Amino acid sequence: MCKTPTADATPTLMVRGLCVAAMALACGCSGSMSSPAPDPAATDDATPAPKARDAGTGGTTVATMPPDAAVAAADRPAQTPVASDAATTTPTGTSDASSSDLPVTPVMGSTLAFVGGDDGNVFVFAFDTTNCTLTQKSMLLAVKDAWYGAVDPTGQRLYIGSLAGSKVLAYTIDRTAATLTLINSVAVGGPAHISLDRRGKFLFAAGFGAGRVTVLPIRADGGLDPGMSWPVGSSPHSTAIDPSNKYLFVQNMGSDAISQFTFDQQAGSLAANTPATLMLAAKIGPRNGAFHPTLPYYYTANEISNTVSTYSLAGNGTLTVIETQTAVPPGFASTTYVAEVHVAPSGKFAYVSNRGADTIAVFGIDQATGKLTPLGQAATGGNFPQSQNWDATGQHLLSANVGGKSVTCFAVDQATGALTKKSVATLSAKALWVGVLPR
């Protein structure tokens, strides 16, 4: 998760242990997963849907989230699903889990970018992909923090996970007005990361303090229904579904492991693969993962060790480590924390962000082996680059910079993978996450 940059941010086991306790309090859960427990009751907010505000208005500031808590108990089993509480959201549509087959065709329209702020606001920007610039159009106060988000494959819905608020919120996107309208919300214990399956029918939430992954059905109107959850390792930080939409992986930063599941894309259920857990090197700290778009390779950004790992993906949906190498700029000796890894839509390059060094490491991908070759480091022009995302063409990469309260737009050289900084847009909150509409 996001570490607030400080002059002496070197992690210790004591600090990380305290953060685990703080996170458990924040999400209203205990660290124990010895017996299954239901998710918090899902709610459909009784208050009216928040209205989009003009770009100049402020939001409610909340306390900065604690640093990443990584060292905790051994990996938990990944077999038993847990049902949500009986309390449900008021349905305005029906679950539509089985309709539509891959691929999903994006709806054409205006290009927008979304940025989640630590003050609870979601900022909506017009994204000019010709000039690589962002212009803020509206701002919506969502919840305690807009920690992570996901845009559905059609570009019609936006989902926001609130780590401090322990819920996931669903919004409709008005492309013309550049505004958001709340559909509903569902309680999920401490979601550090959310993502969608490839068809946009289910949402995956990594419950950092809860030590579980939750699958929420997405209704026909884009709203969320309560779902099921499965125990995973300690401090699960992210999920990734493979390109076939059949296998789900959960990065457990606290237990140095990746949970491996098969995914039933009709029922929205998970089953532990064999093996259920891929144990990694001690203190590697897998935080974020990304698949190659066409080849059977997977990559993780490892926060504790400041490295990036390459894996092969077998036909049965299990991973094997190929290599691990540093993602830190050569000669950099100060404190930094690797955040995310992203593979270019072309499949030729991978990018890993460094919070502290404030760079994005660029790697070439060997198409025969999946291995990475360092090609250089690009300065982000903003402090603490927490989250990155592509435009639909892969010609631009956006970086949300926490400390800089900014978003940097890079042009991507399609031949060399090099990043060229084109603009930096500022906002009134720490930028935790950035997402872009499909085109």
| DSSP assignment string, 257-315 | EEEEEEEETTTTEEEEEEEEEEE--TT--EEEEEE-SSSSEEEEEETTTTEEEEEEE-T
Q: Look at residue 268 and tell me if it is in a domain.
A: no
Q: How many residues does the chain have?
A: 439
Q: Look at residue 292 and tell me if it is in a domain.
A: no
Domain CATH code at residue 181: 2.130.10.10
Q: Look at residue 407 and tell me if it is in a domain.
A: yes
Enumerate residues 6+ apart whose C-beta is below 8 A from 48.
none
Q: Are 317 and 246 in contact (CB under 8 A)?
A: yes
Measured CA to CA, the distance from residue 67 to residue 72 in angstroms comes to 14
The pairing of beta strand 212-217 with beta strand 337-343: unpaired
Measured CA to CA, the distance from residue 16 to residue 411 in angstroms comes to 37
CA angle 316, 214, 171 (to 5 degrees): 115
Measured CA to CA, the distance from residue 198 to residue 147 in angstroms comes to 22
Which DSSP letter does residue 334 get?
A: S
Measured CA to CA, the distance from residue 42 to residue 424 in angstroms comes to 38
Q: Look at residue 45 and tell me if it is in a domain.
A: no
Measured CA to CA, the distance from residue 150 to residue 173 in angstroms comes to 12
pLDDT of 86: 30
Q: Look at residue 82 and tell me if it is in a domain.
A: yes
pLDDT of 97: 34
Of the candidates 37, 28, 39, the one whose C-alpha atom is nearest the C-alpha of residue 227 is 39
Enumerate residues 6+ apart whose C-beta is below 8 A from 240.
195, 248, 249, 251, 289, 290, 291, 298
Q: Look at residue 421 and tell me if it is in a domain.
A: yes
Measured CA to CA, the distance from residue 289 to residue 265 in angstroms comes to 20
Of the candidates 393, 352, 334, 367, the one whose C-alpha atom is nearest the C-alpha of residue 111 is 393
Q: Look at residue 4 and tell me if it is in a domain.
A: no
pLDDT of 81: 58
SS3 175: coil
215 burial (CB, 10 Å; 0-12 / 13-18 / 19+) is: buried
Phi, psi values for residue 27, rounded to 5°: -95, 0
Q: Look at residue 360 and tell me if it is in a domain.
A: no
pLDDT of 109: 40
pLDDT of 10: 34
Angstrom CA distances, 364 to 290, 291, 349, 371, stand at 15, 14, 5, 8
When divided into structural domains, the chain yields a total of 1
pLDDT of 2: 44
Angstrom CA distances, 222 to 126, 154, 354, 397, 417, stand at 23, 11, 34, 27, 36
Name the β-bridge partners of 290.
299
Domain range for 171 is 50-257+375-436
SS3 286: strand
Residue 237 C-alpha from the chain's centroid: 8
In one-letter notation, the amino acid at residue 37 is A
Render each residue's pLDDT in the chain as its tens digit; 439 residues.
544 443 333 333 333 333 333 333 333 333 333 333 334 333 344 333 333 333 332 322 222 333 343 323 333 333 445 554 333 343 333 333 333 345 555 444 458 999 999 999 999 999 999 999 999 999 999 888 999 999 999 999 999 999 999 999 999 999 999 999 999 999 999 999 999 999 999 999 999 999 999 999 999 999 999 999 999 999 999 999 999 999 999 999 999 999 999 999 999 999 999 999 999 999 999 999 999 999 999 999 999 999 999 999 999 999 999 999 999 999 999 999 999 999 999 999 999 999 999 999 999 999 999 999 999 999 999 899 999 999 988 999 999 999 999 999 999 999 999 999 999 999 999 999 999 998 6
